[in-house]
C-alpha cells in the first residue's frame, strides 16, 4: 500500500500561463493586509512560495500564508497560533473549555490555533492576561462572580456646576448645593480636571474660598469635605518641596486635623473660618500677611486653650496640636523676600482683571482680619 502524498511533486502547473513551471523558491515579498479595519504593509524578507518560472505568477500555499500572517502578527504584537495552543495546553484546557471561558465559539479557537483566523486585538489582550494572571482565570471561571465584576459604576464628575463632586457636603436641613454661588461651584468642579497651570488653580482656590467665607452666613449648613482638604494639601505639597514650618502647619490644618477647625468653629467661628485661608495666604505672600496670620493663630490658640482648660480629651489634644506648629513658626527665620518675589511673579502671570481681583480679595481679607 502506497503512502498518501502530502504535497504534489514540483513542478506544478501555473494557473496563468498554463505551463508546468511552478517551483518553490525564496524571494522578498511585500503585501498590504487588512486587520481591525486598517491596512498594514507587511514585509517578508524571504518568503518561500511556489512561483512560476515562466510568468512569475505566485501561489499562496499554507506555508507561504503562515509566513505572511506571522509577519503581520509580529508587527502588531499579537500571539502566534503556536503560543495560543501551547498556553492553552499548559493550562490543561480543551479548545471547547477555553472557548467557553472567553465567550467565543470552539471553531474560532480552532481557527486561531491553525492560523486560519487572526484573533481580534481585544481578544488577544484578554488571552494574554488570562494566560499570565491566575486571578483572571479564577474570575472568568466563576460565572456568578463574573457578573458582579464591573457592575458598580465609578461615577465620573459631571461638568454641571451644580455637581460639586464631593467637594462640599450638606449638613442636616441644608438647602440644595445648587444655591452656592455659580462661580464657586464651577471652580470646585474644575478641581477634578487637569489644571492648565498652578497659577490658575491658586487663583481659583483663593477666589472660591473667599466666596465661601463671604457666603457662609447665609449657607450655615455647608461644609467642605476631606476631598477638598486633601486637594489643597496635595497642591501645596507639589508646589513647595522645601521643609517649612508654615507648610507643616498647612499640611496639618488641611489634612486629618481639620476637625480641630470644626472644634474651633464651635467656639469662635470667625477665627476658625479665617485661619486656614490666612495660613495659606501667609505662606504665599509677604511678611504683613504672615504677621496677621500669626496674630490670628495666637487668637486661635488662646481660644482653644480656654475651651480646653480643665478638660481632657479631644479639646486638649487640639490645643496641643495648634501650639506645636506655632512655636515652630515663631522660631524660624523665613525668607520673606523670596516669597514676595514669588507672589510678584504670580501676579504678573495673571491677566490684568484677575490681578486686580486678587488684590481686591487680599484687601478684603485684610479688612476681615482686623480684630
Partner 1 sequence: MELDPRELKLIKQAIKARVTGCCEWDEEEGRRVMREYPELGHYELTLKGIKAILIDYVCSSGDIEQRREERHRWKDEYDFWYRAVIDVEDIPKPLFVEVRFIQEGPTLPVVRIVSAHF
> Which residues of the chain form contacts with partner 1 (CB under 8 A)?
4-10, 12-13, 15-16, 18, 31-37, 49-50, 57-63, 65-66, 69, 104-108, 111, 114-120
Q: Residue 47 or residue 304: which is nearer to partner 1 going by CB?
A: 47
Backbone angle region of 41, left / alpha / beta, with phi > 0 → left and psi within -120 to 50 → alpha: beta
Closest CB 146 distance from partner 1, rounded Å: 21
Cβ 107 to partner 1 shortest distance, Å = 4
Task: Determine the Cα–Cα distance for residues 15 and 54; give it in Å rounded to an integer.
Answer: 11
Of 114 and 341, the one with the shorter C-beta distance to partner 1 is 114
Grid cell for residue 139: 474570575
What secondary structure does DSSP assign to 14-39, as a single string?
A: PTTT--S-EEEEEEEEEEEEEETTEE
Which C-beta is closer to partner 1: that of 124 or that of 239? 124
Nearer to partner 1, 30 or 330 (CB): 30
Least Å distance, CB 117 to partner 1, is 5
Determine contact, residues 132/79, Cβ cutoff 8 Å. no
Burial class (CB in 10 A: 0-12, 13-18, 19+), 322: buried
Q: Could you tell me the smallest distance in angstroms from the CB atom of residue 45 to partner 1?
A: 17
Phi-psi region of 103 (alpha: psi -120 to 50; beta: other; left: phi over 0): left
**Least CB distance from residue 14 to partner 1, whole Å?**
8
User: Which of 33, 169 has the CB closer to partner 1?
Assistant: 33
Spatial distance between the Cα atoms of 238 and 194, rounded to a whole number of angstroms:
14
Minimum CB distance to partner 1 smaller for 31 or for 347: 31
Looking at beta carbons only, is 29 or 203 nearer to partner 1? Answer: 29
- Report, in Å, the least distance between residue 150 CB and partner 1: 25
Minimum Å gap between C-beta 242 and partner 1 is: 57
**Terminal alpha carbon distance of the chain:** 114
Residue whose CB is less far from partner 1, 65 or 287: 65
Cβ 132 to partner 1 shortest distance, Å: 22
Instruction: Give min distance, CB of 129 to partner 1, in A.
Output: 20
CA dihedral 6, 10, 13, 15 (to 10 degrees): 70
Q: Which is nearer to partner 1, 59 or 146 (CB)?
A: 59
CB atoms within 10 A of CB 310: 8
Least distance CB 83 / partner 1 (angstroms): 16
Q: 150 by DSSP, 3-state: which?
A: coil
Tell me the C-alpha distance between 69 and 150, whole Å: 35
Among the listed residues 65, 64, 59, 66, the one whose alpha carbon sits nearest the alpha carbon of residue 23: 59
d(CA 246, CA 228): 19
Contact in structure between 185 and 340 (CB atoms under 8 Å): no
106 Cβ neighbours under 8 A, 6+ residues apart? 95, 96, 99
Torsion angles phi and psi, residue 192, rounded to 5? -75, -15
Nearer to partner 1, 32 or 156 (CB): 32
Phi, psi (deg, nearest 5) at residue 49: -145, 150
Q: In sequence order, what are the beta bridge partners of 44? A: 29
Amino acid at each position: 500500500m502506497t503512502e498518501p502524498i502530502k504535497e504534489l511533486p514540483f513542478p506544478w502547473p501555473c494557473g496563468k500561463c498554463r505551463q508546468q513551471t511552478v517551483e518553490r523558491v525564496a524571494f522578498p515579498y511585500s503585501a498590504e493586509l487588512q486587520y481591525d479595519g486598517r491596512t498594514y504593509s507587511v514585509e517578508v524578507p524571504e518568503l518561500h512560495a511556489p512561483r512560476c518560472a515562466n510568468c512569475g505568477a505566485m501561489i499562496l500555499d499554507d506555508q507561504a500564508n503562515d509566513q505572511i500572517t506571522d509577519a503581520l502578527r509580529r508587527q502588531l504584537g499579537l500571539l502566534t497560533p503556536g503560543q495560543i495552543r501551547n498556553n492553552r495546553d499548559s493550562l490543561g484546557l480543551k479548545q471547547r473549555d477555553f472557548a467557553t471561558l472567553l465567550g467565543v465559539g470552539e471553531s474560532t479557537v480552532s481557527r486561531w490555533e491553525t492560523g486560519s483566523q487572526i484573533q481580534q486585538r481585544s481578544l488577544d489582550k484578554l488571552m494574554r492576561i488570562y494566560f499570565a494572571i491566575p486571578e483572571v482565570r479564577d474570575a472568568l471561571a466563576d460565572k456568578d462572580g463574573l457578573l458582579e465584576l464591573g457592575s458598580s459604576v465609578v461615577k465620573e464628575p459631571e461638568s454641571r456646576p451644580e455637581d460639586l463632586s464631593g467637594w462640599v457636603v450638606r449638613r442636616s436641613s441644608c438647602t440644595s448645593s445648587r444655591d452656592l454661588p455659580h462661580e464657586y461651584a464651577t471652580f470646585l468642579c474644575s478641581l477634578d480636571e487637569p489644571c492648565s497651570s498652578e497659577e490658575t488653580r491658586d487663583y481659583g482656590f483663593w477666589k472660591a474660598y473667599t466666596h465661601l467665607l463671604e457666603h457662609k452666613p447665609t449657607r450655615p449648613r455647608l461644609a467642605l469635605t476631606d476631598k477638598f482638604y486633601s486637594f489643597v494639601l496635595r497642591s501645596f505639597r507639589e508646589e513647595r518641596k522645601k521643609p517649612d514650618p508654615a507648610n507643616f502647619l498647612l499640611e496639618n490644618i488641611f489634612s486629618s486635623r481639620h476637625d480641630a477647625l470644626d472644634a474651633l468653629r464651635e467656639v469662635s467661628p470667625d477665627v476658625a473660618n479665617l485661619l486656614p485661608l490666612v495660613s495659606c495666604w501667609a505662606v504665599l505672600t509677604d511678611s504683613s500677611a504672615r504677621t496677621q496670620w500669626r496674630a490670628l493663630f495666637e487668637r486661635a490658640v488662646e481660644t482653644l486653650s480656654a475651651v480646653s482648660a480643665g478638660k481632657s480629651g479631644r479639646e486638649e489634644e487640639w490645643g496641643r496640636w495648634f501650639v506645636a506648629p506655632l512655636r515652630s513658626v515663631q522660631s524660624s527665620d523665613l525668607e520673606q523676600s523670596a516669597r514676595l518675589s514669588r507672589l510678584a511673579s504670580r501676579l504678573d502671570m495673571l491677566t490684568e482683571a484677575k490681578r486686580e481681583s486678587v488684590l481686591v480679595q487680599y484687601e478684603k481679607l485684610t479688612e476681615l482680619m482686623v480684630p
